[in-house]
Structure 1
Amino acid sequence: MNSFTLFKHSLFQFTDLHQAKKMSFWKVILYVIFLSIILALPITKQIFSIMQDIKNDGQKIAAKLPDFKIIDGKLDTATNVEGFIYQTNSIIFTFDPEGKRSLSDVTTDLVGNAVGLGFLQDEFVVALPNSGAADSLLGANQFEIPYSKGSLDGLNSKDLKESLDEASVPFWIKLVIFVFTLYPTFINLIINLLMITIGANLYSKIRLYNLRFLDCLKISTYCATLPVIFSSILHFINRSFDDSFLIVFVSLLIFFIAIRKEERKEPPLA
């Protein structure tokens, strides 16, 4: 018996899944990683879609940019250029060469999950949505890059437009994003499998099946295959779907079916 055979049984023949107790533990871990990859796919696709939306919205904004250049620590434009605010699905952009707005104004403009970007009179600013993720990962959700530091010297509207038109996400960045998505998915699946195993082990004790905790863990892992696949499909349809209950509940039902062929102990005599 191997993982591929058990995978097929997990889709069509639940009663043979009790043989998973004979699998090596390291093979079971590899199978958990395989299930985690299935669960991570819709989340990764969502992140890539957001990145593509930001790129497309950036190109729309670039098309509306007037001619400008950052030189000697200043935002240089024609004398008749006026500031503007332009909103897309993912970006709220501010262009203010007249000094009428500040970082706090850009932050106040934020709606939903949109990112605030702004070329102000003296600095370039970034304002991220107010969520715990930005604070925990980056230490803040607002960033200022003063032109006086010289890091943006020479930047102009023409080069910016060309860069956005040619921009693409390298494969290695996509791979890094996938790995970072896979890690929390793997941990969450481990927690769900432990919950399933606790329930499965309790059921096997009540029903007098001769199964150890580790046996229940191995069988439960393969019983979770179909719920994981269904959860992944539902995530493609509904991004906010919470899959934990579905995985735990359905996996337990499949476990109850899977161990029917297991030997049972003789009940104690009264």
Structure 2
Amino acid sequence: MNSFTLFKHSLFQLTDLHQAKKMPFWKVILYVVFLSIILALPITKQIFSIMQDIKSDGQEIAAKLPDFNITDGKLKTASGAKGFIYQTNSIIFTFDPDGKRSLNDVTADSVGNAVGLGFLQDEFVVSLPNSSAADSLLGTNQFEVPYAKGTLDGLNSTDLKKALDEASVPFWIKLIVFVVTLYPTFINLVINLLMIAIGANLYSKIRLYKLRFLDCLKISTYCATFPVIVSSILHFINRSFDDSFLIVFVSLLIFFFATRTEERQNPPLA
């Protein structure tokens, strides 16, 4: 018996999943990683879609930019260029060469998950969506890059538009995003599997099956295959779908079917 055979049983022969109790524990761990990868796929796709949206929105905004350049710590624009505010699905952009707006104004414009960006008179500003995670990681959700520091000297509208047109996400960035997504998915799945195993072990005790907690955990892991696949599909359809209840509940039902032929202990004498 191997994990591939048990994978097929988890889809077509549920009553054979009780044989998972014979699997080496390290193979069960690898199978949990495999299930985590399945769950991480829709989340990773969503992140890539967001990154692509930001790129597309950036190109849309760049097309509306007037000619400008940053030289000697100052923002210089073409004669008659006027400021504007432009909103897309992912970005709220401010171009204000006249000094009418500030970082706080750009932050106040941000709604939902949109990122606030602005070329103001004296600085380039970034305002991230309000998030306790961002605050704890970065210390703030507002960033300022004064032109006077010279960091942006040489930047101009032509180069910016060209950079956005040619921008692409490198493979190693995609790999990092996937690994970062996989870690919390793995932890969450392990927690769900422990909950399933606790319920399965209690059921086994009531039914007087000769199953240890570790046996229940091994069987439960393979019982979770079908609900994990269904949850992943539903995540592609509905991003906000909460899969924990589905995985725990359906896995327990499958465990009940999978262990119907388990050998029972003799009931204790009264």
Q: TM-score with structure 1 length normalisation?
A: 0.99
| Aligned equivalent of 1:83 | 83
Shift of 1:132: 1.6
Report the CA distance between 1:23 and its aligned residue: 0.3
CA drift of 1:137 comes to 2.4
Mapped to 2, the partners of 1:139 and 1:47 lie a distance apart of 23
Q: How does 1:50-89 map to 2 (within 5 A)?
A: 50-89=50-89
Deviation at 1:203, TM superposition (A): 0.4
> What's the counterpart of residue 143 of structure 2?
143
Q: What's 1:7 paired with?
A: 7
Matched, 1:261 2:254: no
Structure 2 counterpart of 1:248, which letter?
V
Paired residue for 1:192? 192
Cα distance in structure 1, aligned partners of 2:127 and 2:244: 33
Counterpart CA distance in 1 for 2:17 and 2:79 is 75
Q: Structure 2 counterpart of 1:232, which letter?
A: S
Query: 1:217 deviation in Å?
Result: 0.4
Question: Match of 2:115?
Answer: 115
Q: What are the Cα deviations for residues 94-119 of structure 1, in whole angstroms up to 9, with x where unaligned?
A: 00000000000000001111110000
SS in 1 for 2:265: coil
Across the aligned residues of Structure 1 and Structure 2, the Cα RMSD in angstroms comes to 0.6
Question: Cα offset for 1:81?
Answer: 1.1
Name structure 2 gaps, 5 residues minimum: none
Deviation at residue 268 of structure 1 after TM alignment: 1.2
Matched, 1:171 2:175: no
Distance in 1 between residues matched to 2:129 and 2:94, nearest whole Å:
16
Number of corresponding residues: 270
Distance 1:108 1:122 in 2: 19
Runs of 4+ in 1 over 4 A off after TM superposition: none
2:158 aligned residue = 158
Q: Deviations over 1:56-77 (max 9, x none)?
A: 0000000000000001111011
CA distance in 2, matches of 1:263, 1:201: 14
* TM norm structure 2: 0.99
5+ residue gaps, structure 1, are none
State the shift of 1:134 in Å. Answer: 1.4
Cα displacement string for residues 214-249 of structure 1 (whole angstroms, at most 9, x for unaligned residues): 000000000000000000000000000000000000
Give the superposition deviation at 1:120.
0.3
Q: Give the letter for the 2:144 counterpart.
A: E
CA–CA distance in structure 1, aligned partners of residues 137 and 38 of structure 2: 26
Name the counterpart of 2:213: 213
Shift of 1:136: 2.4
Paired residues for 1:124-143 under 5 Å: 124-143=124-143
Structure 1 position 184, deviation (Å): 0.2
Instruction: For residues 163-190 of structure 1, give each alpha carbon's deviation from its aligned partner in whole angstroms, at most 9, with x where no partner exists.
Output: 0000000000000000000000000000
